[in-house]
Structure 1
Amino acid sequence: MTATPSRNGATVTVICRMPSGLVLELYDEGALQNPSKPGALPAVKGSVRLSGARHDPRFHKRDNIMLGMGGRTEVAADFWEAWTKQNAEFMPLKKGLIFAMPKEADAVSRLSELREERTGLEGLDKDKMPGVTPFAKEDF
């Protein structure tokens, strides 16, 4: 689900470098401060599903290479601002696994700057794993 455009129609392009994406949920601030029941979460004011690195146009399932990949999602600017304020300590946000730019071209440019930076969520390279050798076709 994509957030509806903000009141002024402004959106930002959010890049998500996590493989499967992420669901962002925005909660009512008042309900977070004064929960009606201990342990109960307040109602969600809005949510956005971010496309992950597997949705990058360059991603190929056979190769499964995640390095430098990121999904792109248009999100209402006011939703993004409120969500980042509410989740300022969220580790993927702090580590740059999700970030936003006002224009898609700027977001893609920033993603290309990060193409060599590992996220820690990439798959293992089977060719560089010590002690692992692939089966020959005759072994089956």
Structure 2
Amino acid sequence: MSDDVLVACKLPHGIYLDVGKQRVKLNGVMQSGRLEAPFFTAPAKSVGLTKVPRDFWEAWIKDHQEFEPIKKGLIFASDKKKRLLDEADEKSEFKSGLERINPSKLPNSLEQVKAGQVE
């Protein structure tokens, strides 16, 4: 059994996990290397991946089962990268609420204002 586990994070900029005096930074979607022009958005199935010591992850997850990103399926782990990426595909519709807005697909309640435009 490996001493590490691979953790996936669907939050844009990742998050710091603390256990005692130890701290691990999880990579977020913006570090996934899968950003697409023109708005530098990541595909829905993108996740940031971070190798984390197994004992650290098990201690952290034990104390954070009610943490909203865990409950929403935005942070999850596996021993196998393929299994983790398959799970990311399954969770592609899960949203953090921090995703970028595509200016060409604004909600009806918003309109784009051009620089210098005065009303």
Report the TM-score range of the alignment, normalised by the length of the smaller protein: 0.7 to 0.9
Alignment-derived partner of residue 93 in structure 2: 116
TM-score by length of 1: 0.70
How many pairs were matched up?
113
**1:59, 1:128 → 2: CA distance?**
18
Looking at CA atoms only, which structure, 1 or 2, has the larger radius of gyration? 1
- RMSD in angstroms over aligned alpha carbons? 2.2
Q: Offset at 1:52?
A: 0.4
Q: Which sections of structure 1, spanning at least 5 residues, go unmatched?
A: 1-7, 28-43
- Which blocks of at least 5 consecutive residues in structure 2 are unaligned? none
Q: Counterparts in 2 of 1:1-140, with a 5 A limit?
A: 9-27=2-20, 44=21, 46-60=22-36, 62-66=38-42, 67-129=44-106, 130=108, 131-133=110-112, 135=114
Q: Contact 2:8 / 2:84 at 8 angstroms: preserved in 1?
A: yes
Q: Are the structure 2 counterparts of residues 121 and 100 from structure 1 closer, same or farther at C-alpha, using a change threshold of 3 Å? A: same
CA distance in 1: counterparts of 2:112 and 2:15, whole angstroms: 34
Contact 1:51 1:72 in 2 (8 A): yes
Amino acid at match of 1:125: N
